[in-house]
Amino acid sequence: MSLLLNSSFTGASSACLLHRERSRRRRLRVPGVTCRQGSNDDRSDAARQKQSPLLLDRRDILLGGLGGLYGVTAGPKVLAAPKTAETKSKATTELSLTRVGEFGTTAQALDASNPLRVIVARPKKNRKKKEKQEKVEVIQIKDIKVTTNETARFDVYVAVPYGDLAGPDYGEFAGSFMRLAHRKKEQGAKKKGKLKLGITALLEDIDAEDADKLVVTLVLRTGSVTVGGVSIKLLQTDTPAVI
């Protein structure tokens, strides 16, 4: 008899606990959320929104997933996933891309307010170590004209293009051209010069060895300068005047 009473008492307790659990679940509700069906409610959306901070149409589907709350709705308002910093940065970069062409055959004057950006083909990519020891890759800027009685300087930057497009960043600094002003002012034609900048190690640093082309940017810092061409060539390592 004792076993029977204990068994009955245990079963009754379990039933009681189960009833409490079900009651507790029924009482669990999401505060401040109202769902309306159809358009039978004559009140304005503003009035309904004031009554409940979260007013959801039954056509709205809320998906709770990893990383946030997503919404799919048939109405004009959509609960979209928040944009991350990486997404915003990528979108900004895409909007800032500009098309860059080749230098051409005509000499161009440098403008301090509008840097000259050109896309230049490389003679060879993915060179082996032995090839790099025998020949150095250089940017060559030819027919540089500067007034003899004034100081002139421009900086050179290198970047990897996105196809035929260039990003807002000029890339890595490759070197500078500078000519100091003469003490005695002279009247006459501008003299021509040239600049060669070695970029073999630089391309390794920016992981650009497999790039077919590079974007070369000339930023005028001071003076009046005209350049006749920009190219990339391979020169023997014992070639003089190569930086």
* Cβ pair 243, 152 in contact under 8 A: no
> What is the C-alpha to C-alpha distance for residues 156 and 160, in angstroms, rounded to an integer?
14
pLDDT tens-digit readout, 49-95: 555 544 445 444 444 444 444 444 444 444 444 555 555 555 545 55
Looking at the fold, whether 104 and 144 belong to one and the same domain comes out as: yes
Identify whether 85 is part of a domain. Answer: no
> What is the C-alpha to C-alpha distance for residues 232 and 214, in angstroms, rounded to an integer?
9
**CATH code, domain with 131:** 2.60.120
Domain coverage including residue 64: 2-72
- Could you give phi then psi for residue 182, rounded to 5 degrees? -80, 150
Q: For position 172, what pLDDT does the model report?
A: 95
* Cβ pair 94, 168 in contact under 8 A: no
Domain count, the chain: 2
> Mapping DSSP to helix (H, G, I), strand (E, B) and coil, where does residue 125 land?
coil
pLDDT tens-digit readout, 108-166: 999 999 999 999 999 999 999 999 989 999 999 999 998 767 899 999 999 999 988 99
> What is the C-alpha to C-alpha distance for residues 33 and 49, in angstroms, rounded to an integer?
10
pLDDT tens-digit readout, 6-45: 444 444 444 444 445 555 555 444 444 444 544 455 555 5
Place of tokens 């609960």: 79
Identify whether 53 is part of a domain. Answer: yes
Count of CB atoms within 10 A of residue 225's CB? 25
Sheet containing 152-159: order of strands: 116-121, 213-222, 152-159, 172-179
Looking at the fold, whether 139 and 210 belong to one and the same domain comes out as: yes
pTM for the predicted model, two decimal places: 0.59
